[in-house]
Amino acid sequence: MLRRVSLWLLFVSIGCSLAGGATDKPKPQPKDDYYELYKVLVDTMDQVERNYVKEVDRRELIESAIKGVLGKLDPYSSYIPPDELSRFRATVDSEFGGIGIQIGVEGGQLKILSPLAGTPAYRAGLLAGDRIVAIEGKSTEGINIDDAVARLKGKEGTKITITVIHPGRSDKLEVTLTREKIHVETVLGDRRKADDAWDFMYDAKQRIGYLRVTAFSRDTAAELRRALEQLKGEKMRGLILDLRFNPGGLLSSAIEVSNLFISKGRIVSTKGRNSPERVWDAQKNGAYEGFPMVILVNRYSASASEIVSACLQDHKRAVVVGERTWGKGSVQNVVELENGRSALKLTTASYRRPSGKNIHRFEDAKEADEWGVTPDKGFDLKLGDSEMVNLLEDRRRRDVLQPHDPPEGEPEAEKKPEAKANGNGKATEPPAPKTNGKPPAEKPPAEKPAAKDKPGTGLDEPPFVDRQLQMAVKYLTGQLARSK
């Protein structure tokens, strides 16, 4: 009896703590809700604790019950137990070792939203849309995001093996990676200059700039401003902002980036069932305006990238080209439990675009429902899985830093080895040990594209044609022709 009473008090306290942050008075519930249903749960726990064939730890039972409750919600809501809380806080502070991927859960499957440029995952050839079916040999079926993150992250220098399936393929591929501290640039260009700095001018003749934003970190707005100042000095007349495969990031960063291109009006708002509405409006701070602009998005553009594209689309500041975005427009609050020993990460609100329309794609959402960001009329261009894989491979090759001769005075022993041609005439890295039977990824030849080359090329093989990017260039070229 005492056991049942203590369990009862525990669940009552949990219920009260979860309701404690409410700002509105809860609606009356049917008589058989709340305490009658708590009683069913308490009785179940009591029976298991007293009569199950083996002794079961009470805390494990309680935590399993909590996870069961959250399992009925979206994949972004989760319970953080005491032994994982410090790792969670380290994640928030970005002080951790990892492999460099952004992940999501769709239909119970763990998917890569995007590898981050320059990271172990990126160098290994992992792609957006890859399904991670196992981590260290353990299946990921039914896994939630926080559990996946916990298993993927670890100390710098430690190794991890994951099993992936590329989009449009059925064969499994095992990849062993070494964790690193993840800190990479988030604003990239179409190709690099001879000094490895990014060339942000895509078309020098038309003076069309190209900025590819891979994530929204604390430094993204500052990086973007520096790139825009460089383009401004080169007399840019039109701009392409590429947010494809961008999994998002900080809300504050999305607001800052949006404010770079508009000087007035609503940027975004958040609204929840039981939380007050919050709004963010643009501030007059010298926005970059007065030139036509295109934003490229695809089905892996999520969260902060959706906030930016929706904002600029609603204000008619930019034309959106590509395909419908992911639909991750939810806000998570972290609620402390047990006086800070554990925590609950709970989805409490959804982002709303300036027009007031919804961004988030809920679990039961249909294609006809309102969610995500849809390209402007006439600019919807979806790539198939194989074409998307080719696009990612093309971009990955461009992002690789090329070998250089050592500076004057540097010992010859420090010189990087030159690339050698394989049997197909393509340049590859010097021989290196294979990883689980997978040969080293190919890199482009060391030579930089000549100035006369068509923008976006520079490979010895026929260039990949990025149809979405070409549509953006065609639109801007037409706009610039009309403005003369």
Catalytic residues: 303, 314, 328
CB atoms closer than 10 angstroms to residue 323: 23
CA 454, distance to chain mean position in Å, is: 30
In 3D, which of 195, 152, 194 has the Cα closest to residue 177?
A: 152
Phi and psi dihedrals of 331, rounded to 5?
Answer: -110, 130
Phi and psi dihedrals of 483, rounded to 5?
Answer: -85, -10
What's the CA gap between 116 and 323, in Å, rounded?
21
What's the CA gap between 436 and 439, in Å, rounded?
9
Q: Are 130 and 111 in contact (CB under 8 A)?
A: yes
Q: From residue 472, give the alpha-carbon distance in Å to each of 138, 366, 389.
A: 43, 28, 20
What's the CA gap between 411 and 141, in Å, rounded?
52
Question: What angle (nearest 5°) sits at the alpha carbon of residue 43, between those of residues 42 and 48?
Answer: 100
DSSP state of 190: S
| Residue 26 identity | P
Phi and psi dihedrals of 479, rounded to 5?
Answer: -65, -40
In 3D, which of 213, 191, 194, 187 has the Cα closest to residue 202?
A: 191
33 membership: H or E segment, kind and range: none
